[in-house]
Amino acid sequence: MAQLILEAIITGILSGAVYALMASGLTLIFGVMEIINIAQGALVILGAYLSYALQDKFHIDLFMGLLLTMPVMFLLGLLIEIVLIRPLKRDRTMLSILVTFAIALIIEGVLGVFFGTNYVQLHSWYIDSTIQIGDYYLSYIYIFGFVLSLILLGLLYFLLYRTKFGFGLRASMQNRTAAELIGIDVERVSAITFGIGVALAAAGGMAYGATSAFNPASHLDLISRLLVIIILGGMGSMKGAPIASVVMLVIEDVTSVIWSPVWANTVFFALLVVILLVRPRGLFGQLESRKQ
Amino acid sequence: MKAVRITGLIVLGMLVVAFPIAFPNPAVTTIAVFTVLFAAAATGWNIFSGYSGYIALGHGVYFGLGSYAIALMCQDWKIPGGTIPLLLIPLAGIVAAIFALPFGWIALRTRRHAFIVITIATFFIMQLMAYNLRPITHGSAGISLPLPPPSWTGNVFNIPFYYSALAILLFALLTSWWVRNSKYGLGLLAIRDDEDRALSLGVNTGPFKLVAFVISAFFVGMVGALHAYFIGSIFPPFAFDALFDVIVALMAFLGGIGTLAGPVLGAFILEPTQQYFTLEFSNNGYYLIIYGILFVVIILLMPEGIMPTLQKYWIKVRSSGNSGQNEPEEVEKKNKKTAVLKAAKGEEKGQSHETA
């Protein structure tokens, strides 16, 4: 039993890193723009399908394919922000939820038209073959996905904390108006942020599609988990999202082992409710300041 | 002006009541039943979210709870189809309201974005429960509700459902109207404009918000119950429908959030459109694409909703027609104008709270 729990913890940490990618995109977009991107789940699935199509039609390796899908998804993110999010001036939060939900529906519809509604899964040698650690067999993709997430998150942190663009971005996160006053082009920062968030979704989608089967409607399940992760981590907290992802996935995997996979999600949701009762702003969230 | 309004309301009411007699075709009345049901749900949603400014995106929870409540009552008490299940609908609404108490209490500890996200999370928890609590809900096998008696067939079948839905809508509208015009509703509007200031001025914000949340859950629960009985069987993904969460909000937004008639207007426009698209394109993904594009276009073109836009336009027309008139007429018109302005004040408040 102890062995099983240990394995569950390892798998949880490894797959938690993949969720950290997707959740970081979501929380980054929220932090800068104060909008909740309900389409993040659908964009993850879109990324998974793009990788699937590249591999299926052109025999491009999944990780190599990311060099193509991530820039494309970045541009898609820019486009969405400029055409659909930017025109929303008043009641941004609410209207952006409706708009991004509509985007999710459109993506789901388009994917349904192109790929049908059957479940698919990505395949490659590193997905189908396993590595032995002690008595425990682990698919290579978990390790590769973990490394990919670490690299991308590292790049993201470098961008945020070591570049001039990152300073501007964090300034916009702290106070939009003040950032504008000191000469930061917040609109431009917003568009690029959205693009980065969507590009991260593409990478997360590839890793997600490699470890679990998906269909166009999977985005609803995914976005519910991502939303829960970013509330637990604290909305807009870049530190909170990865930690909450790992916590969630570890709890889920351990619950599946010691109780039943059916209840894995429920235990996590219950934990979330308890945490919110004690700490309404999540683990690392900022206190909501009064808007005037 | 007042006489015109009242006559208009009476004519509109008569049209709505006489609708199934004028168009007895079951295909038409089925759409009418769904439309009135959604109008009631949107009105219920608006009592909380429209007036308090807290956007709840998890009212599918109470829709589903209402559905399961009536299905389980009919199953456990061995109730035959007919009018008795219709009478149980308020009870199902109360069940939903009871669940709304703890859920609302937890969710309302947070504000703004976190609140929205928690309501969404609650929704997914409850959907999961419907799948997993097999001894009660039968999981994905679903529950069947009793069939209505054989005398309810053909053109008559939809009639009891239509009038029951209409009764719920009327009840919801009366409650909404009362809230809007009461001191309690004024407190809710104050919370929408500036919660901290409302608190400091002596509005007991916590209970105010929770009561509105429970009231709106009650109406949405009743809608869920009638919907379940109308459909005849319930399954977790349809009783707890993620699309419902958003559609109710979209209807209220389209018509004008925080207004009395807005949600009804939104439902009367959106629901028939949706039913039409489902009938036309249900076999492929095009239905989702068209619906999504429709969503986006509505929001980008009319972010304020139809009612506030019309009201603004009306004020503009009145004030531009004012210049260069004779003295007595002008005074009279000015009086009218202030009346209109007063009526529109609530909406203006709603616009100012985000930009403030």
Q: Percent of chain A having pLDDT more than 70?
A: 98
Alpha-carbon gap, residue B97 to B107, rounded angstroms = 15
B109, closest residue in chain A (CA to CA)? A280
pLDDT mean across residues, chain A: 86
Reported as type and span, the H/E element at residue B126 is: helix B112-132
Q: Are A236 and A282 in contact (CB under 8 A)?
A: no
What is the distance in angstroms between the Cα of A103 and the nearest Cα belonging to chain B? 6
Q: Note the residue count of chain B.
A: 356
What is the distance in angstroms between the Cα of B342 and the nearest Cα belonging to chain A? 22
What global pTM score does this model have? 0.81
pLDDT of residue B347: 44
pLDDT of residue A229: 87
Alpha-carbon gap, residue A218 to A231, rounded angstroms = 21
Span A188-245, pLDDT tens digits: 999 999 999 999 999 999 999 888 889 888 888 888 888 888 888 887 788 888 999 9
Q: Are B350 and B257 in contact (CB under 8 A)?
A: yes
Q: How many CA atoms lie within 13 A of B39 on its CB side?
A: 27
With both helix axes pointing from N to C terminus, report the angle between B306-322 and B327-355 in degrees, rounded to the nearest 10. Answer: 150
Which residues from chain B sit within 8 angstroms of residue A95, using beta carbons? 253, 299, 303
> Which range, A91-105, A115-129, B58-72, B138-152, is most confident?
B58-72
pLDDT of residue B227: 92
Can you read off the two tokens belonging to residue A162?
């070591």
pLDDT of residue B326: 47
Can you read off the two tokens belonging to residue B108?
């309302």
Which of A40, A106, A221 to mutate to probe the B interface, most B CBs <10 Å? A106
Least confident residue range of A82-96, B152-166, B310-324: B310-324
Which of A225, A229, A273 to mutate to probe the B interface, most B CBs <10 Å? A273
- Determine whether the interchain pair A102/B111 forms a contact, defined as Cβ–Cβ distance below 8 Å: no
Residue B318: count of CB within 10 angstroms of its CB? 15
pLDDT of residue A288: 53
Alpha-carbon gap, residue A10 to B81, rounded angstroms = 54
Q: Are A237 and A246 in contact (CB under 8 A)?
A: no
Give yes or no for residue B6 having a pLDDT over 90: no
Give B144's strand partners: B233
Q: Please enumerate in sequence order all residues whose Cβ is within 8 A of that of B288, keeping only pairs 6 or more positions apart, or say none.
A: A105, A106, A108, A109, A112
Phi, psi of A59 (to 5 degrees): 55, 45
Q: Which of A227, A282, A288 comes nearest B112 by C-beta? A: A288
